A and B are shown apart, each in its own frame.
Chain A
Amino acid sequence: MVIKMWLNGKLIEDVIDADTLLLDFVRKHGCYSVKRGCETANCGLCTVLLDEKPVLSCSVLAARAAERRVETLEGVREEAEEFGGFLADQGAEQCGFCSPGFIINVLAMSKELEAPSEDEIKAYLSGNLCRCTGYMGQLRAIKSYLDQKKAVVS
């Protein structure tokens, strides 16, 4: 089948098998930031934005994204660098394999929730697994990032 979608702001068209997963589709189109950490929708590594909402691209058919807007970390480079800097300052990217999906979800959270509490942050991101950091450094990075954003706004 032929599908069209906006991938990171660019309209692309491709012929795909009907069972192609969005995860494999975006990697095929050069978005290597998107990783597969499991096959059971448990790890969150493959998170992308579909019409600005975070979804697990391992559990979405590419065909479902037809005529819609998909964004991966490659498409939000500036924001990724900004938050990523806070993560790096904690040393909390570690192996970095979960970073892209995690950062996509952090960026979605910061747009969706206003001044989230620690519990809200943990709940929002609970689907993003990380085996290296124990999550504490990630939390410190998120708090510094949100504080800085708040400071910029006020």
Chain B
Amino acid sequence: MNSVNSGIRKKDAMALVTGQPVYTDDIAPPECLVVKVVRSPYAHALIEEIDQTAALKVPGIVCILTYEDVPDQRYTTAGQAYPEFSPYDRLILDQRMRFIGDAAAIIAGESEKAVDRAMKLLKIAYRVLEPILDLRQAKDSDIVIHPEDDWRALVEVGGDPKRNLVASSMDAMGDVDAALAACDFTVERTYRTKANQQAMMETFRTYTYLDAFGRLNVVSSTQVPFHVRRILSNGLDIPKSRIRVIKPRMGGGFGAKQTAVSEPYPAIVTLKTGRPAKIVYTREESQIASSPRHEMEVKVRVGADKQGVIRAIDMHALSNAGAFGDHGPTTVGLTGHKTIPLYARAEAFRFSYDVVYTNHMAAGAYRGYGATQGVFALESAVNELADQLGMDPAAIRELNMLRSGDVMPAYYGETLNSCALDKCMATAKKMMDWDEKFPARDMGNGKVRGVGVAMNMQGSGISHVDTAAISIKVNDDGFYSLMTGAADMGTGCDTTLAQIAADCLGCDVDNIIVHGVDTDISPYDTGSYASSTAYVTGMAVVKTCESLIERIRKEGAGALDCGYEETEFDGSRVSCLKEQKSITLKNLANQAMCGNETALFATESHYSPISPPPFMVGMAEVEVDMETGQIELIDYVGVVDCGTPINPNLCKVQAEGGLAQGIGMALYEDIVYSEKGKNYSNSFMQYKIPTRLDVGNIRVELESSYEESGPFGAKSIGEVVISTPPPAIAAAIYNATQVRIRELPITGEKVFLGMKENE
């Protein structure tokens, strides 16, 4: 009976593939008011007057809310453990507009048509202000984006709103300038990444209603139900005890739904009107007023000696938070902390950063969470360094890479216990036929094929912070209910947690039903983010099963009239070792439901003082048309060390899917603004996520290490898989064309212009 490490179907699979109505919008009651947000046409402005007269006359309009109607209490919509590192800098509706798409008013009505009509008739007079649209001009600008007095930071992270600073800090070891000066070879470069969109297929959506107790029930597609409860309590100024959050099946998240993007709007409408209310974001809203990746400019200095040993790394990240600071102070930390440790021989490093406000939409959490931007920068710089040294970029990594037992000074001094990065590299080289293909091959038809490599790490949960509890109860006939507060967003954690429980309890996975998140019922979980669920929540499952087995044995000992120490539970029966007596779990469970005072129920909580990194090596093969610069991705190889894969099928699909997103970031997904700050990449017509014709052939293998502190040796998989494509593809394109592109995405046009310049 081994559920762990087997590729069983997800428990909800057949419901999903037969199109059952299980998502938020499918189950919303038809009587919900339609809620929409009127959005600012200006990047920076003050609302001077709102004339509701005409809009209110539209038949079916129930309420129009403006900044005068919301609690005067700043909060953050970032889904993080309390106290949040993100500043409390928002109101549900504010008089100041801080980006094109910022919420100016909320309209609720009986039908979409009525609301659409009212939105056109609502007259808002704005005083237009000069915006800051370039992240490089934000710090210490004369224009201040958050001049308000009630801006507040719960945690000191170096923020100063008067300077447009969300956060600013530095971390270092040794004398990095001296170490770099002593290097035989150094590279100093700047790399830029865009505010990429998660683009999950299900846009943001929420419905709300008051229940029989007058409490606000919030049904929402969210990765962070417990945080949403606190966020709404803060924003709406009502007690947390008045709020219940329920998460149905979700159509993807990738971090986007780690911010309470849509929840406040129907919630305030329901509170004001007492009526059920629903908001469904359009794709356009999801593109222009959501929670994308932080745009970054990362400067890297990296140096090596003649042998190729990397001696020093210096990174400075400038991160664009946009209009609000959600996830700003935390994402940027990963830019250095989850990249610099990869090169374990360095004797000095420095990592500094500024996170700034600008008049673009606020950024948030996107898979990789700041590490992705850092990986593009550092891995690209190492590729450039290898080129200077005349070294194979795979070899320079093999020489310098982190290995099991290494202490990671740039990763909070943690010691690395499990690492198969070397095996990942060896396997990737074999799969790609690297030694044959590196650096490039002229195909003889005007096209050249190049290969490139990158490696990366992530974490498994946030050490000392992420907390997960699991409850399991025994029901009639001995089936189990597993209750979790971790949000399955399509990744399959409702199934993988049951797989862990099945092996702990010695039963079939079908004997365990899983109850997804309802904050009234589920035990606390920080939520599904930071690659925490398999590792942190998974360990909570292990601990809970241990407690539950104790209880089952105690109950069995009573029923068999035998000492606890003499009992054994094998998954289906409790036996008394001394007297050859036993009772089945079925009988025990049924007896426990009649004249009994022991609850066959256990709940345990878990957090981890460490965050063991999973690893990946990615290799790309591209073909470039030397006449036009057109790029075709031919092959992408990814080899992951996620520890023990709880469900190898789901791990593999996570990896393939993450790589496809990384490929999109590398080659296609561009964010283009007008000079006034309008985001032109506001639909899937303009923002091109890859189709199945655009991803080439993605091939994934797992090289598992064993992480002692994780459930059955597991680490995380969700985020590590996204980050290698930008640097690996950039290097492959360089090897084919001798053109270095240091700003994503890498388009044929940029390559063409680069080739012209080289001529």
Contact = CB atoms under 8 A, between A and B. Distances in A.
B201 A37 contact: yes
Contacts of B693: 122-123, 126
A40 B439 CA distance: 41
B284 to A, nearest CB: 7
Interface stretch (A49-57, A60-68, A96-104, A108-116): A96-104
Contacts of A122: 692-693
Contacts of B695: 134-135
- With most chain A CB atoms within 10 A of its CB, the pick from B491, B656, B661, B700 is B656
A147 to B, nearest CB: 18
Contact of A95 (B201, B649, B656, B698): B201
Interface string A27-38: 000001111011
Given A33-B19, A80-B18, A91 B657 contact: no
B200 A40 contact: no
Interface in B149-182: none
Contacts of A77: 18
Interface string B234-252: 0000000000000001111
B201 A97 contact: yes
Interface in A124-139: 125-139
Given A40-B683, A96-B249, A131-B254, A91 B689 contact: no
Nearest to A95: B490
Contacts of A7: none
Given A97-B251, A134-B658, A139-B692, A32 B19 contact: yes
B17 interface: yes
Given A91-B10, A95-B250, A132-B653, A42 B17 contact: no
Interface string B675-706: 00000000111000101110101111000000
B344 interface: no
B55 interface: no
Contacts of A139: 692
Contacts of A84: 13-14, 16-18
A130 B201 contact: yes
Contacts of B490: 94-97, 132
Nearest to B700: A136
Given A38-B683, A90-B653, A92-B653, A80 B659 contact: no
A14 interface: no
Contacts of A73: 18-19
A40 B686 CA distance: 10
B249 A89 contact: no
A95 B653 CA distance: 11
A134 B633 CA distance: 14
A11 to B, nearest CB: 22
A84 B15 CA distance: 10
B17 A43 contact: no
B18 A40 contact: no
Per DSSP, chain A at the interface is loop
A146 interface: no
A95 B660 contact: no
Interface string B629-663: 00000000000000000010110110011111100
A23 interface: no
A39 B251 CA distance: 17
B685 A42 contact: yes
Interface residues of B, number: 56
B406 interface: no
B653 A91 contact: yes
- With most chain B CB atoms within 10 A of its CB, the pick from A80, A127, A130, A139 is A130
Q: How large is the interface on A (under 10, 10 to 19, 20 to 34, 35 or more residues)?
A: 35 or more
A87 B12 CA distance: 12
A45 B695 CA distance: 19
A77 B19 CA distance: 9
B740 interface: no
B283 interface: yes
B492 interface: yes
Contacts of B650: 91
Contacts of A126: 691-693
Contacts of A13: none
B26 interface: yes
A39 B14 contact: no
A3 interface: no
Given A32-B21, A95-B250, A100-B19, A43 B13 contact: no
A98 B19 contact: no
A121 B14 CA distance: 23
Interface in B235-278: 249-252, 254
Contact of B252 (A90, A97, A103): A97
Interface string B176-204: 00000000000000000000001111110
B9 interface: yes
A143 B18 CA distance: 19
Given A32-B21, A72-B19, A84-B17, A91 B649 contact: yes
B684 A93 contact: no
A125 B647 CA distance: 27
A100 B15 CA distance: 11
A106 B495 CA distance: 26
A131 B657 contact: yes
Listed from nearest, the 9 A-B pairs whose CB atoms lie closest are A33-B19, A95-B490, A84-B17, A96-B16, A97-B251, A134-B660, A88-B13, A32-B21, A134-B656
16 contacts: A35-B23, A35-B201, A37-B203, A43-B201, A43-B684, A80-B17, A80-B18, A87-B17, A91-B650, A96-B13, A99-B17, A132-B201, A132-B653, A133-B656, A134-B658, A134-B698
Interface of B: 7, 9-10, 12-21, 23, 26, 198-203, 249-252, 254, 282-284, 489-492, 647, 649-650, 652-653, 656-661, 683-685, 689, 691-693, 695, 697-700
Interface of A: 32-35, 37-40, 42-43, 45, 72-74, 77, 80-81, 83-85, 87-100, 103, 122-123, 125-139
Given A80-B17, A93-B10, A94-B653, 11 more contacts: A33-B19, A33-B20, A87-B17, A91-B650, A96-B16, A99-B19, A123-B693, A128-B692, A131-B689, A133-B660, A134-B698
